[in-house]
A and B are shown apart, each in its own frame.
Chain A
């Protein structure tokens, strides 16, 4: 499953980032990395998503969202929270 398919308010863990090295590095540095627990807070226009990782909020565009592979987790956190 990828982030674009993730339902709103569900928790999920990032499993893989389908992007080239430089983009993966940049995304990881911002906090969106393998192992992070994310929650989609809302859908935006053109397929974009607003994602929460702990207390942080990120806006991700539609195309990028399809390249973030996730797996659902229960609400109990298991990973970086902040």
Chain B
């Protein structure tokens, strides 16, 4: 059974009420579009029904991959097969739009039942809609439901059961057309003609419903009257963006630390006691696997908080207003207005920023934004800038760091323009007409459930990749290359990891930092950028400075090395190093999530391009810097 309807009509809430925890988030077969699939146990002897929550859409003439999934599912031409029944959500406050979609669903011949939502909102706006009258006019069963309170659901269950038993009905005035949904958004003349016919039908139905004139100024209008005022809209938006940023950094940090501490404390102690046999096995489990698991679990609170915050913004209705405010700026980059929030969050941490791309309704827009997120300079990279700026640009450290952020924004802009001109040339610029849903109280239980499901999906799928990668890194560090060392008790220089770093080092010579300490640090940075500073400390065998801007011993050693590799132009080499850190691949957690959201090919391709761009930029910075 399918759930079909416009975005923001309470479809997901209804889905949650019906399936409870018996659901999961998956991808529509062959796509990167998220689907929620669940089981509805109606009780009272009725068979459980497999329920699919399709992406919200305004039309079955699909213009985006998400809409395509819905259109194919309704037409029965997707790999999901033919549906037994479609429950079409009709929103009382947006009746014309909902009726248009209903007409399109009816044209495919799919049996349907109507669930009327938001009747309370409509009533408060002065336009009561009567379910019985609507059923009379349409000729199909109509049940009024309030997904938030659960009202109407038992009646919906009865209606669905009856409809599943009966044969396919039809909606008054609509004929099933053989290949209705096969008409693509691409075949425009046919699409326009078909749409016109359906609009005529919608007008006729609304005339028959004889609704009174809606109230002129609603509560939502009053809020928008303040919020969308020219000089208020932008500051409010910036405040919301700042709040999201804080959530991703300061507020999530204690939670992440707590989980980390738990895994590296009690759990590790327990593991040490339980693991038999040679020291290296214990090392592998504790420092390899457990380290990876701990890392993934420590990200879980961060992702959960971000999923929750974004869902909250969307549910209360503010997100559409934010997209409106940011649209002008984002369009200049060829991006959707909603892309601004993921990019802002990205400056805190790239990983939850990818979670925030969920708000973009178009799969290609999500991909485009997700590819640009790594160019947002996260706070982990900041620790590297602070270290190098304080060592090599004393007195101008602040300016140096600021310039890195300017470079980060420049890379996002240029990257966006480049992608738009190449891989994303086909992405049409949509006219900016955005539906502003009524503001409403967020549905907390539904939000918590959805955040939990998405976090679980992240931990299991992206988590696998992260744990595997960290285990591999441990092995590389543990295997000695020269004689005289036991496995898992090897100084970095003499391990496989060290040799790999030494092998890579010459490639970095044109950028002025071609020696193994820097190469090793960069390879570590591939795993996590926060560890770059620690890696330098480890390879020089000094203590990691607790404050990266007070480098002390480490500073002296690094200065010496950089002087040598750059032929006396240490500052230029340091600048090149910082640029490389800014632009090369994101950390493995971000890569794993990119792979989960966008697939392996795009992720790998992006990684290669980023490495190449980073190398070219670093070399350019060094060579030019040398001359100054």
Contact = CB atoms under 8 A, between A and B. Distances in A.
Interface of A: 19, 21-33, 39, 41-46, 48, 50, 52-61, 63-64, 77, 80-82
A80 B433 contact: no
B63 A59 contact: no
Chief secondary structure at chain B's binding surface: helix
A77 B97 contact: no
B350 to A, nearest CB: 29
Contact of B435 (A24, A58, A77): A58
Interface string B303-327: 0000000000000000011001101
B320 A56 contact: no
B325 A64 contact: no
B366 to A, nearest CB: 19
Nearest to B224: A50
Given A42-B224, A61-B328, A80-B206, A21 B189 contact: yes
A3 B97 CA distance: 21
19 contacts: A21-B189, A22-B63, A25-B185, A27-B431, A27-B433, A30-B435, A32-B433, A42-B228, A44-B233, A44-B324, A45-B234, A45-B328, A46-B230, A54-B127, A55-B94, A55-B125, A58-B434, A82-B209, A82-B211
B203 interface: yes
A31 B101 CA distance: 12
A26 B202 contact: no
Contacts of B211: 81-82
B432 A61 contact: yes
Contacts of B202: 80
Chief secondary structure at chain A's binding surface: mixed
Interface string B44-69: 00000000000000110101000000
Contact of B122 (A33, A55, A77): A55
B214 interface: yes
Interface of B: 58-59, 61, 63, 93-97, 100, 122, 125, 127, 185, 188-189, 191-192, 195, 199, 202-203, 206, 209, 211, 213-214, 216-218, 220-221, 224-225, 228-231, 233-234, 320-321, 324-325, 327-328, 428, 430-436, 438
B206 A19 contact: no
B436 A22 contact: no
A81 B213 contact: yes
B317 to A, nearest CB: 10
A78 B264 CA distance: 70
A21 B187 CA distance: 10
Contacts of B321: 59
B241 to A, nearest CB: 16
B434 A23 contact: no
Contacts of B436: 50, 57-59
Contacts of A21: 188-189, 192
B95 A82 contact: yes
A82 B233 contact: no
A50 B191 CA distance: 27
Contact of A30 (B97, B231, B320): B97
Shortest Cβ-Cβ A-B pairs, 10 listed: A61-B432, A45-B230, A82-B95, A57-B436, A55-B214, A23-B431, A59-B324, A21-B188, A59-B434, A29-B59
Given A29-B59, A54-B96, A58-B435, A22 B224 contact: no
Given A25-B192, A56-B97, A46 B328 contact: yes
Contacts of B97: 29-31, 56
Given A42-B228, A58-B436, A80-B96, 5 more contacts: A28-B199, A44-B230, A44-B233, A57-B436, A59-B432
B229 to A, nearest CB: 8
Given A22-B63, A42-B228, A77-B213, A29 B100 contact: yes
